[in-house]
Structure 1
Amino acid sequence: MRLENKVAIVTGVSKGIGFATVKMLLNKGCKVAGWGRTAPDIADNNFYFYKTDVRDIEEVNLAYENTVKDLGEDIAILVNNAGLGYEGGIEDLDPKLWRQMFETNVDGIFYCSRLVIPKMKRNDEGHIINISSIAGNTGIPSMSAYCATKHAVTGLSHSMYKELRSFGIKVTCIYPGSVKTNFFDEIDSVEVNDSMMMPEDIASTIIHCLESQANYHHVDIEVRPLKPKK
């Protein structure tokens, strides 16, 4: 896909992977709608921020309506990046945190994707990127709830790509290992360090997928730091 003048929606844009992805899309000439709870420090005429909590379907619907009003309905790209994780044993985790993770990491993808797909189908073009985690491919002690949400993202992404591929819509699921972001603010067992990948690394992978030729489809991409801190 040629990215110049394409309209993209990115969720979870205040920091980290979402922020880096917005910057790279803007550099490629995209018009970008950023959906998030906190506005990022981005000053660009092609960037539009809409305060949105992806757990709330009404807020998502309103963000979509305003995006279409400002940028048009030909949305070619959706990056489902918003996500969070909490640590806790299966018998100790507060059920409210379990629900918050599922509402953000899984429900949010459904709420956002369902809105852009009809027009993508009519245009015979579109690319939906779902940001998962290596937790979507394995189990991690004291992270059972987070792993459960990311396994759900895997199943959802695989079903989406099989449903949508014949309509010219690509669905790519990316599984990062540790990335140096604020994600680990709530994870006491992990210390953020320079051996982790950087948000820009993941953003560059997203751009690589988006710019692939029309009949070339990245379905699953797992990325990890080469030399993680022991």
Structure 2
Amino acid sequence: MDLKNKVAVVTGVSSGIGLAAVKALLEKGAIVTGWGRTAPDIENENFSFIQADIRNQKAVEQAHQETVHKLGSPVSVLINNAGLGRQGLLEEQAVEEWHQMFDTNVHGLYYCTRAVIPGMKSQDEGHIINISSIAGLNGVEKMAGYCATKFAVRGMSQALFKEVREFGIKVTCIYPGSVNTNFFDHFENATSPENMMQPEDIASTILHVLQSPPNYHHVDIEVRPLRPKGKRSK
């Protein structure tokens, strides 16, 4: 896809992967709108922010309507990046935390995706990128709830691409390992930040996928730091 002047929506843009993706898209000439609770520190004539809690279906629908009305074009790119994780043994984790993860990581993704598909179908083109996690491929101790949400994202992505591929719409699911964002601020035994991937690394993968030839479809992409524990000592 040629991204110049294409309408792109990114969720969770205040920092990390979302912010890096917005900057990368703007550099390629896309017109980008961020949906989320906190605005990023970006000043660019091709960027706008709509405050919306993606856990609220009506808020998402309103954000979508405002985006299309303001820009006068359907959304061509959706990057479902917003997400959160909480550690805890399954029998000890607060039920509220479990629901919060599902409401954000699964239901929010569903609301955003559901909103943009009709417009993508109308223009016979679109690309939905879902940011999952390696926790969507492998179980992780003390992360049962988070893993459950990211496995759900994987299943949703693989089913959806079969539903929309004949309409020229691609669905790609990216499974990052540890990325140097505030996601790990309160996690036990997290990889040292200097050994993690950077948000810009994931943004480069997003651009690569988006700019692929029309009939070339990346379905699943797993990315990890090469040396998560750093260089070995000699």
Q: Identify the TM-score tier after normalising by the shorter chain.
A: over 0.9
Per-residue CA deviations over 1:39-60 (Å, capped at 9, x if unaligned) read: 1000000000001111111111
The equivalent residue for 2:114 is 114
Q: How does the TM-score come out when normalised to structure 1?
A: 0.98
Aligned-pair identity (%) = 60
Structure 2: runs of 5 or more not aligned:
none
3-state SS in 2 of match to 1:227: coil
Structure 1: runs of 5 or more not aligned:
none
Q: How does the TM-score come out when normalised to structure 2?
A: 0.96
| Count of aligned residue pairs for this structure pair | 230
Would you identify which runs of 4 or more consecutive aligned residues in structure 1 move more than 4 Å? none
Per-residue CA deviations over 1:91-135 (Å, capped at 9, x if unaligned) read: 110000000000000001110011110111121100000000000
The equivalent residue for 1:130 is 130
CA distance in 1, matches of 2:189, 2:150: 19
CA distance in 1, matches of 2:166, 2:61: 26
3-state SS in 1 of match to 2:194: coil
CA contact (8 A) 1:184 1:192 kept: no
In the alignment, does 2:38 pair up with 1:38?
Answer: yes
The equivalent residue for 2:149 is 149
The equivalent residue for 1:98 is 98
CA RMSD of aligned residues (A): 0.9
3-state SS in 2 of match to 1:75: coil
Shift in Å, 1:192: 4.3
The equivalent residue for 2:211 is 211
In the alignment, does 2:33 pair up with 1:14?
Answer: no
Moved more, 22-31 or 52-61: 52-61
3-state SS in 2 of match to 1:35: strand
The equivalent residue for 1:226 is 226
Shift in Å, 1:189: 3.1
CA distance in 2, matches of 1:73, 1:40: 23
User: One-letter code of the match for 1:157?
Assistant: S
In the alignment, does 2:72 pair up with 1:72?
Answer: yes
CA distance in 2, matches of 1:42, 1:156: 31
Shift in Å, 1:188: 2.9
